[in-house]
Structure 1
Amino acid sequence: MSLTAFIFARGGSKGLPGKNVKPLAGKPLIGWAIEQALGVEQIGRVVVSTDDAEIAETARACGAEVPFLRPDSLASDTASEWDAWRHALETLRDAEGVLPAPFISVPATSPLRLSEDIAACLARYDQGDADMVVAVTAAHRNPWFNMVSARGDGTIAPVNNPEGTVVRRQDAPAVFDMTTFAYVADPHHVLRSRGVFSGRVRAVEVPVERSIDIDTPFDFEIAEFLMNRRLEAK
């Protein structure tokens, strides 16, 4: 069965205006996500959910479909991406008579991911014991060791280890950063729930060097440097 992947890209980014269509290493940022999703054997098409005409035009030029535009109410700074997920699923179900399954979201903001990373998330989901699979990477900071919060008296202490009983990183419980590589989920879970961790969530660990999530101009510069280095090495 040919699967459908979704990319959710609104036009009103404030951290980096126009980031979804901004050229990164010679290709629009959203183009990398489209290429990576279509590079997965099981994925036959990519549907982009956007409120923005320029994003829609760019996405189509890069090989994606834009069969609907996202309502403005789901494209504001305060709008929930989860609601955009539900809207996309319901819209395609109503138009095509079938619910895309599994639900696959491939965010545009992780251009350094590989198609094999998306495929790994799909393979983990196919094991059948998860409502959702996400990708994670080992965290640089650990709340048991070197992440701190302020106390009422102005001093600081580790977030989860205020008495300092964990004194070596090796003794701290392992923690991970969530990435924006891919989300693979049971579509019924998306439609009936209100957030990622409202069901059984499993994880695929991915390399930190591919895990940058672009939100600022600085993130973009780092990602472009790393992408150019990758392309030059080919």
Structure 2
Amino acid sequence: MINGKKVLALIPARSGSKRLPKKNKLPLGGKPLISWSIQAAQKSKYIDEVIVSTDDVDVAEIALKHNAIVPELRPKSLSSDASSSLDVLIYVIDKFRHNSDIIVLLQPTSPLRKQIHIDEALELFFEKSANSVVSVTPCEHSPLWSNFLANDLSMKNFIEPEEIKRSQDLEVFYRLNGAIYIYDIDDLMLNKKVEYTENTFAYIMDNKFSYDIDTQLDFDVVEALVGAGSFDREFE
């Protein structure tokens, strides 16, 4: 609970993943991938309940072993490629809100996100009187140095003349990193849509915590980082 508001964490983990099959239960650093997000949520000083929404019996068993709540196996209608995170959010709130005021969506594919990031993002949520807070990270490469290519591969006008400068002199751009999404439940249920407004604020995370596992290469990189201790362990 924070500022008298009850906080529900939702970790969505459907079984269907074409680019990296069964990714949510792959072993990372000696424990299943999904357990990293469950444990980060449980270590948060503000989160009251942690719900895992999954259609995978094995993932459900892993979640229960880690003391997360698995109220049911997710309906097939919410487990297809066409199902959105918003669909799952609304369904879970409708059925399992339990008087919660705030919902924190934590994708299990962001295992390096720590409890301190969750807590700081929630504190920002109240500091800004926000309707939503979304985590971002600085772009590794400026989008000003990217463009479409013509069919003949000509690079004419590929970079605008005023952008031909040292990378450190370019303005910093940010991208979504997929780690944390926080919503005021009443506002979300009133509008039934996710949008970025003047009451949506960015919580900035360092690149080293912002890996989003979608492919085998992503997993291999994070596995190497975990094995080498290349990210801070002070928040474990």
TM-score, normalising length: structure 2:
0.87
Give the whole-Å Cα distance in 2 for the aligned partners of 1:108 and 1:138. Answer: 21
* RMSD after superposition: 2.3
- How many Å apart are 1:171 and its aligned residue? 4.6
- Matched-pair contact (CA < 8 Å) for 1:117–1:181: no
Query: Where in structure 2 are there 5+ consecutive unaligned residues?
Result: none
CA distance in 2, matches of 1:157, 1:194: 40
SS at match of 2:188: helix
Moved more, 186-195 or 124-133: 186-195
The equivalent of 1:224 in structure 2 is 223
Q: Which residue of 2 aligns with 1:142?
A: 142
Q: Tell me, which stretches of 5 or more residues in structure 1 are unaligned?
A: none
Q: 1:79 to 1:118 in 2, by over 3 A?
A: same
Q: Give the distance between the partners of 1:8 and 1:155, measured in 2 at CA.
A: 43
Equivalent residue, structure 2, for 1:214: 213
Match of 1:82 in 2: 86
Which residue in 1 is equivalent to 2:183? 185
Shift of 1:51: 1.4
Flag the 1:152–1:130 CA change in 2: closer, same or farther, 3 A.
farther
The alignment partner of 1:165 has SS state of helix
Kept after mapping to 2: 8 A contact 1:106/1:181: yes
For residues 1-234 of structure 1, the aligned pairs below 5 Å read 1=1, 3-93=7-97, 96=98, 98=99, 100-144=100-144, 146-151=145-150, 154-156=153-155, 163-168=160-165, 169-191=167-189, 192-197=191-196, 200-230=199-229
Conservation of the 8 A alpha-carbon contact between 1:102 and 1:185: yes
Aligned residues: 227
Please report the TM-score for the alignment, with normalisation by the length of structure 1: 0.88
Measured in 2, the distance between the counterparts of 1:232 and 1:163 equals: 36
* Cα contact 1:148–1:156 (8 A) shared by 2: no
1:174-219 CA distance string (max 9 Å, x none): 2112112211111133222322426632111111111100011111
| CA deviation after TM superposition for structure 1 residue 29, in Å | 0.5
1:189 & 1:156 partners in 2: Cα distance? 46
| Residues 5, 106 of structure 1: 8 Å contact kept | yes
2:225–2:231 Cα contact (<8 Å) kept: no
1:12 alignment partner AA: G
Q: Structure 1 residue 49: deviation in Å?
A: 0.9
Amino acid at match of 1:177: R
Output one character per residue of 1:92-124: Cα deviation in whole Å (capped at 9) or x when no partner: 14xx4x2x2211111111111111011111011
Is the Cα–Cα contact under 8 Å of residues 179 and 210 in structure 2 kept in the other structure? yes
Report the secondary structure of 1:12's partner residue. Answer: coil
- Report the 3-state secondary structure (helix = DSSP H, G, I; strand = E; otherwise coil) of the residue aligned with 1:41: coil
Provide the rounded CA distance (Å) in 2 between the counterparts of 1:35 and 1:157: 50
Query: Counterparts of 2:232 and 2:120 in 1: how far apart (Å)?
Result: 24
State the shift of 1:151 in Å: 4.0
CA contact (8 A) 1:12 1:76 kept: yes
- Residue identity in the other structure for 1:110: S
The 1:233/1:122 distance shift into structure 2, 3 A limit, reads closer
